[in-house]
Chains A and B, each alone.
Chain A
Amino acid sequence: MMLLTAFRLTRRSWPMILRLYGVNFLLGLMVLFPAYATLKSAAGHSLEFEKLRNGFDFTVFTDFMHTQSQAVGPLLSTGRWLGLIYLLAGLFFSGGIFLQLTNAGGPRPALPFRLDSFLAACVGYVGRFSRLFLIVLTFLLIWGLICLVIGVAVGMGFADTLDERALFFVFLGCFLLFAFPLTLVLCAGDYAKALLFQTDGNRALAAFGQSLRFVLNNFGTAYGLYLVLLLIGTLCFALYFLAESAVVTNGWIGIGLLFLFQQALILARIFLRVWMLASSAVVLSERDKLRLRLIRDRHSLG
C-alpha cells in the first residue's frame, strides 16, 4: 500500500523526473558525440566493422582495441568524470526532489513543477545532505574494509579444507554479509534524507542514527520496500537484455530502436530512484508512532 502511495507521488512528479532524465541525457551526450566521432574516424573506410552491426566479432573488436586504444581511452576517462559530476548533481538535487514529492502529496491538483522553488530546495539542503553522504560513505568504506578482512580470513581458513562448491557458497555467504549491511546503510541514508527534510533538521549524523534504528525497528516495511524496488530495477535490466537480444541492428531503424530501449531503461531507473526516496518519505510520514517521535525529535534536531 505504501509502495503504491509512493508510486503515485512519483508518478505525479513526472515533470521533475523528465528534467532529471534530461540532465542524465545531456551528460550522456558528452559521451555519445565524441564516441561517435572517434569510432567513425578510427574505423576509417574499413568494411570489417559491418560485422559489429548486429552482434559481436571478437577479431574485429580486439584488433580495434589493440590499434585504437589511445582513441578509446579518453572516452572511458570522460565516462569516469561524468560519474563524479552526476554524483554531485544527485547530491544537489535531493532537496528539490523531496520538495517536489511533498508538493505531489498535497491536495489535488498537484502544484505545478517550479524550477525556482526546486532549485531553492536543492540549495537549502545540499549542505546537510553532503554531510549525510560523507557519513554514509564512511560507513560503507569501514564495512567494506571489515568484509575484505573477513573474506580474506575465511578464504584462507577454508581454502585447504573445502571443495570448490562449498567454497563458492562460503564466498556467496561473505558477499551477502557484505551486501546486506551495504544496502541497509543505503536504505537508512534515504530515510535520513527524508527525516532531515521533513524535520528541517541539520544534524546529519543524528538523523542517520535515528533512521538506522527506524529501519531496523520497521525492518519488513522499510528494508522490504527498498529490496522490492531493487528487485524491480533488476527486472528492468533483465527486460532490457531480452529486448536487446531481440532487436536486429542491421540498419539505422534497429539501432534507433535499441537506443530507445536504452533510454527507456535509464528513464525507468531514474523513476525508480525517485520512487525509493518517495517510499522512505511515505513510510516515515505514515507511521503514527514515528510521527509522535518526530515531533519530539524536531526540537532535539532543530
Chain B
Amino acid sequence: MKNRLILMSWLLIVPVFLPAFSRPGPQPARPASTRPLSPRIASYRIQVRLDPDTRRLTGRQTLVWKNPSGDLIRELQFHLYLNAFRNEESTFMRESGGQLRGEYIDRDDRDAFGSIDLLSMTTRDPASGRTENLTGRIEFIQPDDANPADRTVIRVPLSRPVGPGESITLDMAFRAKLPRIFARTGFSRDFYLVGQWFPKIGVYESAGTRYATQGRWNCHQFHAHSEFYADFGVYEVDITTPKAYWVEATGVMQGETMNRDGTKTLHYRAEDVIDFAWTASPHFQEFTDRWRHVTVRALMQPEHAAQARRHLDAAKAALAYLDKYVGRYPYPVLTVVDPSIHAMGAAGMEYPTFITAGTSWGMPAGIRLPEQVTIHEFAHQYFMQMLATNEFEEAWMDEGFTQYYEGRIMDDTYGRNTSVADWLGLRVGDTELSRSFYAHLDHPAVAPTFGNVWQLPDAYYGELIYFKPATWLRTLEGMLGRPVFDEVMRTYFERWKFKHPNAVNFIAVVNEVVGRRPGNRFGPNLNWFFDQFLYGDAVCDYELHSVANQRQGTGYRSTITVYRRGDAVVPVEVLVSDEDGRETLLHWDGKARSRTFTLSRPARIRSARVDPQRKIYLDVNLNNNSYAVSPPTAPAAKYAARLMFWAQNWMQWLSALV
C-alpha cells in the first residue's frame, strides 16, 4: 500500500505546465572575449560532417601548436581517443570491461563499437606554403601499459624540429565511427553526444611543469576513469548535420549556413578552452536564461521540458557560488545538455562551457538529482577546464574539488541535511552523503588518493577520487575555518588558472595562506595533514570513551577520557557540559592513543563531545564522538516501536494471502 501512495504522490508531483522561458532565435555572432586568458598553445580549425545513416564523422582540421618550452621538439604526440571503442582489446575496454557507471556495450552489435582513423597529416609552413606529408611516420604507442592493441595515442617524428616558442601548423584529415553510447560519447538512436572525437595533441610539459624535471610529452592512453589533460587554445569548428538536427557545442555559435544538400553548417568559436564537444538531436527543446554575462542554455528532451527551470536554476546557483568563492567564470556561455534515458551513458559529463546532466520523467522536486549533477558538472569548469589539472595522474584534483564544491553548493542552496533528498520523510544532504560513501567503506584504508588513476583499486575509484578528497577538503575547511579555506581556494585558482597545477602547488598555497594567518595552530605547515589523507591511507576515528564524576569536598572531580581509535592524528577539541549549564572547551593534539582530562568542578559533568563543531568530517564514526552520563533512551524506544509497527504490518500483509 505504501508503494501505491508513493506512486500516486510521484504522479501528482509531476508538473503539467511548462514555464514560459524564452526560445531564442539564432545566436548573434559575437566575440567571446578580447584578451587571451590562456597561453593558447594548441588551436584548432575543424570542419566536421555527421552522417546519421552510417554514424560516421568526416573531418579536416588545422592545428597550430606552439612549443611552450625551451626545448627542441622532435616529435609530436596525439590522442585518438575514439579508438578506445575500436575493439575489446583496447586499454579502456580491458579496464572497464565494456561497462561504465552501469551502462554496458552490446558486444554482439557491430554498431556499438567506434573508432577513428587519421587519414593524413601534413605540416604546412604558412609563410612559404611548403608542405611535408607525415602520414607514413605515424606510429601507435602505449606509454601507460604497453598494450600493443591500444590505438589511442600516436607519435609522429618531425623531420624539422620545432624550436622554443616556435609554432607548427598541421593539416589533418580523419574519419571516425561513433560508438553506441555506453561510456560518455557516441550515438543512441538520433541523439549524438560527440566528445573526444578529433585528433588532439598531448601536453608537452617543460622542465618545472608539474613533476617534469626535463621536457616530456604527457599524452596518456584513454583509460576507464580518466580522459582529460590538454593544453588551452582557440577552437573554430564548423559542424555540418542534417537540417532537422538541433546542434549545440562548446563555445559560442557564430553563425549558421543552410546547404543545398539538405544539411546545415554551424560555426562555433571557443577561446581558451582545452577541448571541444558537441551534441545533435532533432528532439531537443531549448530554454535559456542569463546570469550576469553568461547565457545559460538548457537543451531538454521533450519529456523533461518541465524540469528545464530546475536545471537552469541549479546552473545559475553554481555560477554565482563559484564566482563568489573561487573565481570568475570568464566564458559567455554555459550549455546544459539533457540526454535521453536511452543515452544515460552520456549523462553527467563535463566539457568546456558544455555539460551533460541527467534526469528522468516524473523526477520529484524533492529528489534533487538533476540539480546535483548540473552543479557537479559545472564545478568541473574550474578544475578540469580552467585549472586543467592532469586527470590521469591526479584525478582527485579535478573530481575531489568538484565533489567538495558540489556538496557546498547543494547544501547552501537547498539545505544542509535536505539538499539531495527531501521526500516522504527521507532527508539526505550532499556533503554527508559524500562522507558516507567513504566513511562506510569496509576498508577505508584501502589505498591513498594520490596516484595514477588507472593503477588505483578499480572498485574504489569513486571513494578514493571523489568522496574521500571531498571529505578531507571539508575537514580542512573545518580546521582552517571557511574564510581561510576560501582564501586558499581563491589564491590557488587565481595563481594557477590556465597553468596545469599539481598537488604540490595546491599544498604550497595552503601552507602560504595558513602560515600568514595570526594564531596558526597547525605548526610550520600542513604537510602532516596531506601526508595522512592525500598521500597516505590514515583512518580517523576519535571516540569519547567515558565521563566519570566523583564527589570531592563541595564539588566534583571529573574525568573525561578520549580514545584515538584510528591511525590518523588530528588536533581535536573536547566540549564539556556541566549540569549547571557551564561549558568548557578543551584542546588535545590528538596524538596519543588516549587522553584523560581531569577537572575539578562545582557541578557534575553532564556530557562531553569530541570535535563538537564537527570540523573533523573525516571521522568514520561520528556517533561515538559524544558521551552522556545519563544517555537518552527515548530514541531507542521510538525506533523499536517503529520496528514493531512494520513487523506487525508485514504480518498483516502476509495474512491477506490466507
A residues near B (Cβ < 8 Å) are 24-25, 27-29, 31-33, 35-36, 39-40, 43-50, 52-53, 55-60, 62-64, 66-67, 75, 78-79, 82-84, 86-87, 89-91, 94, 129, 133, 136-137, 140, 159-160, 163-165, 167-168, 186, 189, 233-234, 237-238, 241, 245, 249, 251-252, 255, 258-259, 262-263, 265-266, 269-270, 273
3 closest A-B pairs (Cβ-Cβ)?
Answer: A86-B651, A90-B655, A35-B640
Closest to A136 in B: B657
Does B622 contact A266, Cβ atoms closer than 8 Å? no
Q: How close is A100's CB to chain B, nearest CB, in angstroms?
A: 16
Does A262 contact B641, Cβ atoms closer than 8 Å? yes
Does B340 contact A66, Cβ atoms closer than 8 Å? no
Contact with A along B416-451 (1 / 0, CB 8 A): 010000000111110011011001100000000000
Does B625 contact A255, Cβ atoms closer than 8 Å? no
For residue B646, CB closer than 8 A to chain A, the reply is yes
What are 19 contact pairs spanning A and B, CB under 8 A? A28-B647, A31-B640, A39-B635, A46-B626, A57-B427, A58-B429, A63-B439, A87-B651, A90-B654, A90-B655, A94-B658, A129-B658, A163-B361, A167-B341, A234-B1, A237-B2, A255-B638, A262-B644, A265-B645
Does A56 contact B427, Cβ atoms closer than 8 Å? yes
Q: How close is B21's CB to chain A, nearest CB, in angstroms?
A: 20
Q: How far is the CA of A91 from the CA of B637 in the complex (A)?
A: 32
Q: How far is the CA of A28 from the CA of B649 in the complex (A)?
A: 10
* Residues of chain A with a CB closer than 8 A to B341's CB: 163-164, 167
12 further interface pairs, Cβ-Cβ under 8 Å (given A67-B621, A262-B644): A24-B652, A25-B648, A29-B644, A31-B647, A59-B432, A82-B647, A87-B654, A163-B340, A252-B637, A255-B634, A263-B645, A270-B652
Contact of B609 among A29, A47, A82, A83 (CB under 8 A): A47
Does B636 contact A36, Cβ atoms closer than 8 Å? yes
Does B301 contact A55, Cβ atoms closer than 8 Å? no
Contact with A along B615-648 (1 / 0, CB 8 A): 0000001111111110111111111111111111
Q: How close is A42's CB to chain B, nearest CB, in angstroms?
A: 8
Does B440 contact A233, Cβ atoms closer than 8 Å? no
Q: How far is the CA of A44 from the CA of B627 in the complex (A)?
A: 8
Given contacts A94-B658, A241-B5, A262-B645, is CB(A49)–CB(B650) below 8 Å? Answer: no
Main secondary structure of the interface of B (DSSP, over half): helix
Q: How far is the CA of A237 from the CA of B8 in the complex (A)?
A: 13
Q: How far is the CA of A33 from the CA of B647 in the complex (A)?
A: 13
Does A45 contact B629, Cβ atoms closer than 8 Å? yes
Does B4 contact A86, Cβ atoms closer than 8 Å? no
Q: How far is the CA of A147 from the CA of B303 in the complex (A)?
A: 28
Q: How far is the CA of A57 from the CA of B425 in the complex (A)?
A: 10
Closest to A40 in B: B636
Q: How close is A298's CB to chain B, nearest CB, in angstroms?
A: 24
* Residues of chain B with a CB closer than 8 A to A28's CB: 644-645, 647-648, 651
Q: How close is B407's CB to chain A, nearest CB, in angstroms?
A: 13
* Residues of chain A with a CB closer than 8 A to B428's CB: 58
Does B654 contact A56, Cβ atoms closer than 8 Å? no
* Residues of chain A with a CB closer than 8 A to B644's CB: 28-29, 31-32, 35, 262
Does B641 contact A49, Cβ atoms closer than 8 Å? no
Given contacts A59-B435, A79-B647, is CB(A50)–CB(B635) below 8 Å? Answer: yes
For residue B288, CB closer than 8 A to chain A, the reply is no
For residue B342, CB closer than 8 A to chain A, the reply is yes
* Residues of chain B with a CB closer than 8 A to A140's CB: 657
Q: How far is the CA of A50 from the CA of B360 in the complex (A)?
A: 36
Q: How close is A297's CB to chain B, nearest CB, in angstroms?
A: 23
Does A164 contact B626, Cβ atoms closer than 8 Å? no
Closest to A42 in B: B636
Q: How far is the CA of A43 from the CA of B635 in the complex (A)?
A: 9
* Residues of chain A with a CB closer than 8 A to B654's CB: 83-84, 86-87, 90
Q: How close is B336's CB to chain A, nearest CB, in angstroms?
A: 19
For residue B656, CB closer than 8 A to chain A, the reply is yes
Closest to B440 in A: A66
For residue B68, CB closer than 8 A to chain A, the reply is no
Closest to A91 in B: B658
Q: How far is the CA of A186 from the CA of B433 in the complex (A)?
A: 42
* Residues of chain A with a CB closer than 8 A to B656's CB: 186, 273
For residue B582, CB closer than 8 A to chain A, the reply is no
Contact with A along B528-541 (1 / 0, CB 8 A): 00000000000000
* Residues of chain A with a CB closer than 8 A to B342's CB: 159-160
